[in-house]
Chain A
């Protein structure tokens, strides 16, 4: 039974390269990081655990729909290690199977935004070593991201300066739910450092901001938590635009990862509308908000929008720009998008080439 017929042939037929902008390598356990952590931090983690602005010692405030932090059911290694933690399985099941040419590693790392800013810095740095040693060194197609402890600005900048000279790192990596909206000036030193190395900023959804995920408090359900990613990312992008971030850093590229993109055109239109009458409040903006949006914000496909009528998806991308949308699978999570079937095969080769590889080539530092 050849259950694993390489689907890569679908892509190779048309000679399309495939860049996957969202792959999640996972720790087998926190012990994977022990070699990279001081005794002090290892002991702290063992004794006090992580303090991440939500109430549970283990698990998620909104329990996910499948085990393993929402893992694909078919992505568990046979030895019982966590989904996403086995390079051989990732190669067999994903990289080789689909013929992935380059995969961007986005570690959803424990300790991002931890209340202990110094612990967070230590964990971020450990993740960067871990990506290099356990993944990139063994599988050069997998490119590491510079994980930074984004609530600890000084340490984040230092980490960028430490890692960026290594050309293997392809982006600076943040999560979306931060203490303050990411456009606020507090975070600008991170962007300044990234721009210095011509690195894009990848922002993956999740994290814990410390305030409710809706402006009316906490919703009841996981489905609502997921839907709220769009609202958080809308606020995030609004903040970046209105604070004048892109006036200050005109070469900065922002990649919104796993955020969906159905909200993007409407947000641009709304911001333009409000700005038209209230530009006096934000005189540092020299152009309409939607122009900054169009020039600086990139999006990844997964989880791809699924309108009832497929042609409406084309409208959306027409409005965002075909040079702004990049393929992502989200391997090995449950809402994984199949490279072949999630990007409609009946789209023109030119469009698919942009989404599968060309756009990413021009954004990430490969």
Chain B
């Protein structure tokens, strides 16, 4: 399949999930203060690359995306070659996956988050006006997280906040609410990306044997977070907050939310602030990027699954560059009904990311 679906609908796509790669810890040293720079060197902190995406695992970088260094997505021009030139997006949102979230020392986490966000501004946003980014947020300490949002949100090129789908505490918990208050205040959606802080095994049955199981389990982490955010009442408290599930897989969502909604009818007194079906709450507040879709090749099945969402507003276009989610040159999975393409490529991203319209 080599059809460029983006040209086909003649519109300027917004790629909602693109990953800039941090080449090495040395890259961040200029962005750390003297103390942390010395700590990194003296304590031999070699890299924060996470085992969620080991550099050589196939999912981490599609083979033909890799440069001579063996990695992909190392600088703005390289990303532009794919995202803007080949796939003809007009805007791309950078979600930097570097293991800030795994760090246990909350002060160190803040130092790295600041360095990373500053690096993104200087080396990416300042170099290509088509790039936008997510604020990497150190949830290890909620005050730190809020401070970092306040610091970065002044730059309108930051369009959402970014956390991982597996953390230390379910994301709906009230301890995180100041973070959501800050996000809502600045019109920043809560972006949740695949990945873990590795506080617990990646499944509730312990550590799997294989990486392929780890990766499959990411979508389970998203299910837990969706349930937590809905049930704790985050969207009752923050009615304008949108949540974007990034690289979550897509097709699991209807079945999971049906179950949550079914149970809610019987046990709703436990969470009485939820006074309408989770089906509706999820439709109003959750968005998902389309790579990976996790659907079979049969376009009829894809169309059926999409219909199960009972909404045309929930899916956002994304290439997930440089992760290996598709072959050929069409990030839009085959089978998604053509009538939805424009919504997915442009309208839904614009409706989700208020700052893109500024």
Seen from chain A, the residues whose Cβ lies within 8 Å of a Cβ on chain B are 65, 177-182, 184, 209, 211-224, 226-228, 230-232, 234-236, 238-239, 242-243, 260, 262-263, 265-267, 269-275, 277-278, 280-282, 303, 305-309, 312, 315-316, 319, 334-335
Residues of chain B contacted by A305 (CB below 8 angstroms): 255, 258-259, 262
Q: How close is A127's CB to chain B, nearest CB, in angstroms?
A: 23
Which of A184, A215, A270 makes the CB contact (< 8 A) with B166? A215
Decide yes or no whether B170 CB sits under 8 A from chain A. yes
Chain A residues lying within 8 Å of B165, measured Cβ to Cβ, are: 215-216
Given contacts A217-B200, A266-B255, A274-B212, contact A223 B267 (CB under 8 A): yes
Interface size on B, residues (CB 8 A): 70
| New contact pairs (4) apart from A226-B259, A228-B224, CB-CB < 8 Å | A209-B206, A242-B210, A266-B305, A270-B252
Task: List the B side residues contacting A211 at CB < 8 Å.
Answer: 200-201, 204-206
Query: Given A178-B205, A262-B254 in contact, is the A219-B57 Cβ separation under 8 Å?
Result: no
- Does the CB pair A181–B208 fall under 8 Å? yes
B65 within 8 A of A: no
Knowing A177-B205, A262-B259, A266-B255 are in contact, say whether A315-B231 is a contact too (CB < 8 A).
no
Chain A contacts for B305, CB-based, 8 A: 266
Q: Are B221 and A270 in contact (CB under 8 A)?
A: no
Q: Which one, A65, A219, A230, A319, contacts B259 given CB within 8 A?
A: A230
A221, B223: Cβ atoms closer than 8 Å: no
B266 at the interface (CB under 8 A from A): yes
A215-B166, A222-B270 known; A266+B249 contact, CB < 8 A? yes
Known contacts A277-B324, A308-B310; A266/B231 CB under 8 A: no
Across the two chains, which residue of chain B brings its CB closest to A260? B259
Taking CB atoms, residues of chain A closer than 8 Å to B173 are 220
Interface of chain B residues 173 through 209 with chain A (CB within 8 A): 173, 196, 199-206, 208-209
B115 at the interface (CB under 8 A from A): no
Q: Mark B235-257, 1 if CB is under 8 A from A, else 0.
A: 00000000000000101101110
Assess whether A278 is in contact with B254, with CB atoms less than 8 Å apart: no
Provide the residues of chain A in CB contact with B169, threshold 8 Å: 216-217
Interface residue B111 (Cβ < 8 Å from any Cβ of A) = no
For residue A212, which residues in chain B have a CB less than 8 angstroms away from its CB?
A: 200, 204
> In whole angstroms, what is the CA distance A235 to B215 when docked?
11
Residues of A within 8 A of B209 (CB): 184, 239, 242-243
Q: What are the residues of chain B within 8 A of A271 when measuring CB–CB?
A: 212, 216
Residues in B neighbouring A334, C-beta threshold 8 A: 266
Q: Residue of A at shortest CB range from B279?
A: A308
* Complexed CA–CA distance, A181 and B53 (Å): 22
Q: Can you list 18 A-B pairs with a CB-CB distance of less than 8 A?
A: A180-B206, A216-B165, A220-B231, A222-B270, A223-B263, A224-B228, A227-B223, A228-B224, A230-B256, A238-B208, A242-B209, A267-B216, A269-B251, A277-B324, A281-B212, A303-B259, A305-B258, A312-B308
Tell me how far the C-beta of A171 lies from the nearest C-beta in chain B, rounded to whole angstroms: 21
Q: Are B227 and A236 in contact (CB under 8 A)?
A: no
B205 touches A235 (CB 8 A): yes
Distance (whole angstroms) from the CB of A155 to the closest CB of chain B: 21
Q: How near does chain A come to B113, taking the closest CB pair, in angstroms?
A: 19
**Chain A: CB-nearest residue to B251:** A266
Which single member of A242, A263, A269 contacts B213 (CB below 8 Å)? A242
Cβ of B110 < 8 Å from any Cβ of A?
Answer: no
The answer to whether B262 touches A222, judged by C-beta atoms less than 8 angstroms apart, is no
A contact residues around B228 at 8 Å (CB): 214, 216, 219-220, 224
Expressed in whole angstroms, the minimum distance between the Cβ of A229 and any Cβ of chain B is 9
> Would you call B231 and A224 a contact (CB within 8 A)?
yes
- Bound CA span A279–B201, Å: 23
> CB < 8 Å: which of B217, B219, B258, B292 contacts A306?
B258
Beta-carbon contact of B227 and A224 below 8 Å: yes
- B292 contacts A235, C-beta separation under 8 Å: no
B205 and A239 contact, CB distance less than 8 A: yes
Asked if B220 lies at the interface with its beta carbon under 8 angstroms from chain A, I say: yes
Kindly list chain B residues whose C-beta atoms are within 8 Å of the C-beta of A215: 165-166, 196, 200-204, 217, 220-221, 224
User: Is there a chain A Cβ closer than 8 Å to B338's Cβ?
Assistant: no
Residue B271 CB within 8 A of the other chain: yes
Which among B172, B204, B261, B305 has the greatest number of chain A C-beta atoms within 10 A?
B204
Whether the pair B204, A214 counts as a contact (CB closer than 8 A) is yes
Asked if residues A179 and B199 are in contact (CB atoms below 8 Å), the reply is no
Q: Which single member of B219, B263, B271 contacts A270 (CB below 8 Å)?
A: B219
CB contact between A216 and one of B171, B206, B208, B266 (< 8 Å): that residue: B171
When chains A and B are docked, how far (Å) is the Cα of A274 from the Cα of B224?
A: 21
Q: Which of B294-314 contact A (CB under 8 A)?
A: 294-296, 301, 304-305, 307-308, 310
Contacts of A65 in B (CB 8 A): 266-267, 269-270
**CB nearest to A316 among chain B residues:** B255
A174 CB, min distance to chain B CBs, angstroms: 12
The answer to whether B204 touches A209 (Cβ under 8 A) is yes
Of all chain B residues, the one with the shortest Cβ separation from A335 is: B266
What is the minimal beta-carbon distance from A78 to any residue of chain B, in angstroms?
25
- A29 CA to B195 CA, complexed, in Å: 45
Partner of B211, one of A220, A281, A308, A319: A281
Report whether B223 and A235 are in contact in the complex, using a CB–CB cutoff of 8 Å.
no
| A280 CB contacts on chain B under 8 angstroms | 58
Contacts of A277 in B (CB 8 A): 58-59, 324
B84 within 8 A of A: no
Contacts of B9-37 to chain A: CB distance below 8 A: none
**How many angstroms from the CA of A227 to the CA of B260 in the assembled complex?**
6
Q: Does B264 contact A (CB under 8 A)?
A: yes
